[in-house]
Structure 1
Amino acid sequence: MTVQTLPVRRSTTSAVQSRETVDWKTQAVCRNPEVDADPEDFFTTTKAGQDRARSLCATCPVIVECLRDQQAKDEDIYRWGIGGGLSAAQRRALGVEARLGQYPDLESARLLISPRWSYRLRRLMSTCYSLEGMVRSLAKDGLNVDTVTVRVAVWWMGGTGSRMTRLAPSDPRGWSVQLREDYADMVVRLAEMKVRHADIAAYLGISGSWGAKAVGEVVRAERAAAAQQVAA
């Protein structure tokens, strides 16, 4: 049986939105036939390929629109490839940021990677030990942005953008010890919010199976300690 669907008149607003959606995609650098872009780089798990894709995204005039579009398409658990200049783990981290009420100003992040600010941002990436330190330095330069906005810009520039403070040369601890000693409260808080261990690790900046494992160990240790206190 064939079902005939009668044509439905679309509103003018919808038509305008549809044209805008098409327009931004036609401006994407990765779709420019004159640009030597390998589509496989956007879906590979190799660092070299992802770095090439991210470098291309950083030059794209519609990186903000692309990231917003990718976030709308991302599934809760399954995320794959580079989209809007960010890896799947980085987009999961943004999801956790949102759970905590932190939303990046993507236009300001795009400004940070523009020729006007990119050199300054790269300097801060090498000299500051934390996102908070970068925010303070940028404020002195006259640019008021929050940590999650700076984090996105750092990611776009190829940096780690970790929520964990970079250890000073005089600090002999490894990241796993730092996680247990400095970030256990945050880990437990997110676990109580039902955030997956892999997403907690991505939020903190320690993506990978080893990151999720380390987070799980912290959660179990903290819960065991809490149980002992109650028993005592």
Structure 2
Amino acid sequence: MLTVSGVAHTYGGVVALDAVSIAVAGERIGLVGVNGAGKTTLLSVAGGALKPTSGDAAIGGASLYSRASRRVALRRVALMPQSLALPSHLTALEAVAYLTWMRGARWRDATRAAHMALVDVGLADRVGTRIRTLSGGMHRRIALAQAIALDPEVLLLDEPTTGLDPQHRREILDLVAGLDHELVMSSHLIEDVATICSRVVVLHRGRVVFDGTTEQLRTLAPDSASPRALEDAFLAVVDAAKVP
């Protein structure tokens, strides 16, 4: 189980997260919110990449921010960031293997795991291709490959379809849907979340303003039978949160 407990974080006095608590246990959670809601900050904290101002994140009881347990905890959770800067001269295999090695795997094991992960994301024929020649959709697949290479218990996906055209967006969503992992996937597109996740957490101005099933969220729409009911419900929740 991944737990985020009472997490707060500020950037130069600006509150990005305010006492956020979430538990992930055997499920897939969609994290939605408008731009600036705190989604990326929350996933960075949950993935061990950003130490919170206060509170903690832990997996299986092992804190991601305790010196005693950090190394073990980091092997059990992985983050696919919204953007991943990769050296353009490396091949796809070299890039994923290097990032896997950085997470603590031996080089031989990292290379083998990287190759398997690239196969899993549909890049078997691109393992030796240099990063600079790959499309944006392939870059997103590489970002996903480095996250799944060590088979973590929990995947954190930060807007995995951002910047993609409809075809590549669908391909990434299909890949994610086929994964056998607990996960938290952030998006500002409620329809993407609905195809993958059964639970939705709405974040607004650094606070959780809704946490429930997609069907529970749907009931908050003005017309729950509308084809746009989930989107309307999401906007209703956000609008309600703006009221002082």
Larger fraction in strand: 2
TM-score where L is the length of structure 1: 0.26
Which structure exhibits the higher relative contact order, with contacts defined as CA atoms closer than 8 Å and separated by 6 or more residues? Answer: 2
Bigger Rg, structure 1 or 2: 1
Larger fraction in helix: 1
